[in-house]
Amino acid sequence: MKCRISFDNRTMTVQLFGEIDHHSARLIREQTDRLIHQKKPRELRLDFSSVSFMDSSGIGLIMGRYRMMGLYGGYLKAVNVPRELEKLMLLSGLGTLDIIENERQEMTSDSY
């Protein structure tokens, strides 16, 4: 798992690649936590557009960064989440936090 981290004003974007499992989640957590402590961004955007697989370690990664950003007075958004991962996130309860942000058009029952 690789990630690319960029900053734009007070927004930190973490572009995630590949699979998020226990090992890769730990590496991502270490990198992002260090930069959050140093830079104290107002917004953390986790970009899932290039993630092919995620297990419960990914949910833990999101929840931990969500709490951390709250401690600094900021917020987290999970963006460009593939449908399969979005289902996992919603089943885990992340939907209640209103952090999932997708730009794709959602299908309605009228679209069938």
Which tens digits make up the pLDDT trace of 36-90?
999 999 999 999 999 999 999 999 999 999 999 999 999 999 999 999 999 999 9
- CA dist., res. 7 & res. 25, Å (int): 20
Q: What is the CATH number of domain 3-105?
A: 3.30.750.24
* Mean pLDDT value of segment 78-106: 89
Q: How confident is the model at residue 108, as a pLDDT? A: 37
Q: How confident is the model at residue 104, as a pLDDT? A: 55
pLDDT above 70 for 112? no
Q: How confident is the model at residue 102, as a pLDDT? A: 84
Give 1's pLDDT tier (boundaries 50, 70, 90). low
pLDDT above 80 for 103? no
Share of the chain above pLDDT 90, in %: 88
